[in-house]
Every structure is written in structure tokens, then in C-alpha cells.
Amino acid sequence: MELGKHKQQRLYQVWRGSNKFLFGGRLIFGPDASSLFLSAFLIIGPALGFCIKILIIIRHQMREHKTVVPWYPILIVAIVLTLLDIYFLFLTSSRDPGIVPRNTKPPECDETFELNSPSMEWVNDRTPRLRLPRTKDVLVNGHSVKVKFCDTCLLYRPPRASHCSICNNCVLRFDHHCPWVGQCIGIRNYRYFYMFITTSTILCIYVFVGSWINIVRGEGTVRKAISSDFLSDFLIIYSFVAVWFVGGLTVFHFYLISTNQTTYENFRYRYDKKENPYNKGILKNFQEVFFSKIPSSMHDFRAFVDEDEIMLTEPTDHNLMEALMSSKEKIDIEMENKFGEDTGLTLPEILQNMELDGIEDNMGHNEDRKKADLDEFVVPIERESTEATSSLKAEVGAYSEKKSDDIKSE
């Protein structure tokens, strides 16, 4: 490789989040994308069983030379609902939910402060003495909203954005991380997520009602039909249990959309106790979710990035920073914070003012001999410290004798 020639890689190959990519960065999934297969199986399995049951009924009707026209629409609707459900599931889990680009360096110096306050935090190891306020106030629709500084992305999160600890990304209009779709739910996929859970609810109700019709129309009594039609029995129980989960989720998110909230905001801020700065009224809230243009992704995952840019996008880990900090620097910071604020003394002054007489008097013979053996190896700075201590003691003694003489002369 020639000198000066930078190695180039695509953005998805050096991505600092926990996401997984397919087809050369064209599809982006969360780190728990494997749960997508379980969700698809829980949808396709019962739906396939229902379609098989309808096909059995159609075949039986044809053998008895009865009309089968009403059963074909039932079969087609079941297939369409299943395909739509899988389609919305795929759209929700395979697209960028609205990831905020990370900063490659800390904010400008005019946004920083050199204050030792609990509300300040280290920025990163490149500027170990630079601190930033943890929150900042911004105006949203005439209301003051606090935004937090993200230590990982090195930026103040936009309003309604939050950092997902699972995907390790800041996401615009973060709702929650859904383990069933294996992806964060944000501004770019919330619409598809709601269509997914709504379609799942409709499919569950459809299978539940259709299975009951199959049992009721069977020959003999209903009890006899229940005891003999095991597939319909299973579908009734399964869809009844599932509809409480996805149906309850659908109703809850219907409420969130009508009040223009996210799941994160609903559990954290409780807008029922204070005014919601994002609420525009029911109609406009629904229009914002379903009829507004979905913003474009702020990332081109297939774009090439230079090796220098890759080094700049290293994640900021405060635990790692603390581990890399030298022991002396840690002691200086901790001791100065603990004692300096109360006494106004620096660490060297504190060490010089410590009384060592009591310790020396309590030392045993063995310790004295060890000390004597080690005297020849004492570093010069330790000797200087000992001489300074002796000098200080001599000055104190001289001052005491002078004071005593003055008293006697009086």
C-alpha cells in the first residue's frame, strides 16, 4: 500500500452501534434481530393452520357437491392479512429508525465550562479537563424543554431523542426498543410498527371468529364439534390469548398517537400531570404520524469513509477513560475534591501538615531497623520532605522558646 493512501471502508462496515446489516448495508437490523424469526413464526404458524382448515372445508364441500363460493373470500382475506402483517413487520425491523449521527469531536469551547460541579461531566479523554453541562434548555412550541448531553455520541440530543442502550444509538422521536421486531421504534418506522400491531390484532380476531364458525357449523352439537376439531380448538385458544397482548398494545398506542406522546415520554414525563408541548390536537396528531412525509435517513450506510474518520468515531466509554487515567491523576482529583473544598489547602500542603510524631513513637524495633536499612535508597524528594519537616519543627521550637523568654522578661 502506498504511503498517504487512505484505506476506505463503507460506513456499515465500521458502524459503532450494535446494529446488524444485510445486503451490503441496504438493510439495518437491531442486535437482537434473531427474534424476528420467532415473531414471524408466531404469525405464520396459526395463519397457515387456519388456511389449511379452510382448504379442508372447501375440499369436503366439493366432495358433497355443495357450494364453496363463500369459503374462497375467507381464505383470500386470511392470506392477505398474513402477508400484510409480515410486510409491516419487515418494514419496521429492517429500516433506520432515525439514528442521529455521532459527533467526531466534542462541542466547541464556547459551549463548555471549567466548573467543578456535580452537574458537569468529562467530555472525553482527548480533553480531560473540559467539562460540559449535563442538560441544556431549548424552546419547543413556546415551551422550555431540557435536552441531555450524550456521552457516547458527543452531542446534545435533539428534543424527543434518546439513546438506546441495546442498539447503542441516539434515535429521533425514540418510542422504545421492541424485542419482538428486534429494532428501535423511532420517527422513521413508528408508522409501520403501529400498522404491524394493528394488522396482528385484526388477524387474531379474524382467526378467532372464523374458527368458531367452523365449530358451530359442524355436524352434531357444539360440544361434539369441540371435542373432535382439535385444530379449531387450538386456533381459538391461541388467538384469544394473542389478541389481549397485541390488541392491548394497539389500544395503548392509539392513545399515544391521539395525545402525541411516545412510550418513553409517557412512562418518564407523565404529560397528564403537566402540559405536553408536542400535542397539536387529535386530528393533527394522527396526520403527523400517518400522513406526513417520513424524513430521510441521516446516514448513507453504503458510503465510503476514510480511515482517519474511522479513528475519530471511536466510542466514548467513561469507564474506559477512568481506567486509562493515571493513578497519580486520579489521586490528585479525588484528594483535591475531598479535602481542598473544605480546607482550601492543596494536596502537598495537606501532606506537609500531617503529624507524624505519633506514628514514629509507636513504631517497633523491627520497623526502625527496616527504616535504617532503607535510608540509603530514599529518593531525593523524600529527603527534601524530611528536611522540610525537620526545619518546620525547628522553627516551631525556636518560636516557642522566644515566646517563653518574652513572658519571663515581662
* Contact status, residue 99 vs residue 17, Cβ threshold 8 Å: yes
For 22, 131, 381, the CA distances from 374, given in Å and listed in that order, are: 66, 44, 15
Highest mean pLDDT among 251-255, 349-353, 368-372, 403-407: 251-255
More confident residue, 391 or 46: 46
Instruction: Give the chain's mean pLDDT.
Output: 77
CB 174 within 8 A of CB 188: no
pLDDT at 363 over 50: no
Q: Identify the active-site residue in 150, 164, 170, 178.
A: 178
**Dihedrals φ, ψ of 310, to 5°?**
-65, -40
* Model pTM score: 0.71
DSSP code per residue over 62-87:
HHTT---TTHHHHHHHHHHHHHHHHH
Which band of pLDDT confidence, cut at 50, 70 and 90, is reported for residue 333? very low
Each residue of 128-154: pLDDT tens digit?
Answer: 445 678 888 888 888 888 899 998 999
Residue 163 is predicted with a pLDDT of: 95
> Is it the case that residue 5 has pLDDT exceeding 80?
no
Instruction: Give the H/E segment covering residue 230.
Output: helix 230-259
Look at residue 270 in the predicted model and tell me its pLDDT: 72
Q: What is the pLDDT of residue 323?
A: 40
pLDDT at 232 over 80: yes
At residue 320, the pLDDT reads 39
Q: Please state the rounded mean pLDDT for residues 369-389.
A: 49
Higher per-residue pLDDT: 6 or 299: 299
> Is 204 an active-site residue?
no
Q: What is the pLDDT of residues 180-210, one digit of tens each?
A: 999 999 999 999 999 999 999 999 999 999 9
Q: What is the pLDDT of residue 410?
A: 46
Of 64-68, 199-203, 396-400, least confident by mean pLDDT is 396-400
Residue 292 pLDDT > 50, yes or no? yes
